[in-house]
Amino acid sequence: MSKDSGTPTYVEPGEEFDRDMNYIPDRITAEPGRSRDPHDPAARDGALEVATWPIEPGRYRLVAAQACPWANRSIIVRRLLGLEDVLSLGTPGPVHDDRSWTFDLDEGDRDPVLGIERLQEAYFERDPDYPRGITVPALVEVESGKVVTNDFPSITHDLFFEWRDHHRPGAPDLWPEDVREEMEEVMQRVFTEVNNGVYRCGFAGSQASYDAAFDRLWAALDWLEERLTDRRYLMGDVITEADIRLFTTLVRFDAVYHGHFKCNRQRLTEMPALWGYARDLFQTPGFGETIDFEQIKAHYYVVHSDVNPTGIVPRGPEPDWWDSPHGREALGGTPIEAW
């Protein structure tokens, strides 16, 4: 079974898609065994119930394919927080086989820092019998070559809370305290119904499971369309982690999910609030520059051979649309400025 950041590329006929959320739970924290986030669900009285690794500039490498929406989150957060000088980035190519993501974009087909051809090597360095999918994003310890964690929600969470001593001046507050409780609820709904919802449609193993997934996805997108009609960002006036998590699905919607995953009630471009919102984020520093539509399309249309057996990659849609005026300034808010 091949995996795309934990996603099987086939589902047995008649089955409903169920994402495997079992990841390596280790964390990289500022203080060993403790979390800086008082609301951290893994913490009890300030202590973490998982193995923790110390923060050291240059010690770790973030391996994150631009094609993958789950990895794309970490690339955006790293960029917004200004962590480029303390946490290096390795970018596998968009097309992988059943074994692993590969570094075919790099000279000699090897990651220039880790010296490996396949991300699989870092997983096997930690556990020669690693039984699960070789997923991105992954944080790898450079010296040992071992993967530390591939728990994608915790990676972006910890880049904000744990690495804050290394954030750039003026870095955005991606987890505002005053909206944190509601934000957690919004992010959970975005994850289950939208981020994962498009996969539930695309990998449905029966008409009934597809129909149910389709209805759930569009109920959530209609809710988001209404929510974003009179507010600039998901939580109001400022960009948060919730916006990053939604953006990486929206930016892939018309290019991939609408057709490839059969999420075709409407195109994103036909939903005024969501389309304007997505362009607003795309044109925000730290977002659009992380997007490579050719890599995104190559990944989905080539790797998912069960969904697209011909391997033909569509030429559209036109990427220049993303740079067109969005008009969201009329809603006010405080966008992230270039730094």
Residues serving a catalytic function are 68, 199
Helix or strand run (H / E) with residue 41: none
Helix, strand, coil percentages (3-state) for the chain, rounded to 5, are: 40, 10, 50
Gyration radius from the chain CA atoms: 19
Contact 64, 71 (CB under 8 A): yes
101 is in an annotated binding site: yes
Both structure tokens of 307: 């969904």
CA dihedral in degrees (118, 120, 123, 126; nearest 10)?
A: -70
Count Cα neighbours of 138 within 13 Å in the Cβ-side half-sphere.
29
Helix or strand run (H / E) with residue 171: none
Residues 289, 329: Cα–Cα separation, whole Å: 21
CA dihedral in degrees (278, 255, 63, 94; nearest 10)?
A: -160
Residues 55, 202: Cα–Cα separation, whole Å: 38
Both structure tokens of 161: 């809370």
Residues 83, 112: Cα–Cα separation, whole Å: 19
Binding residues: 101
Bind-site residues for glutathione: 101
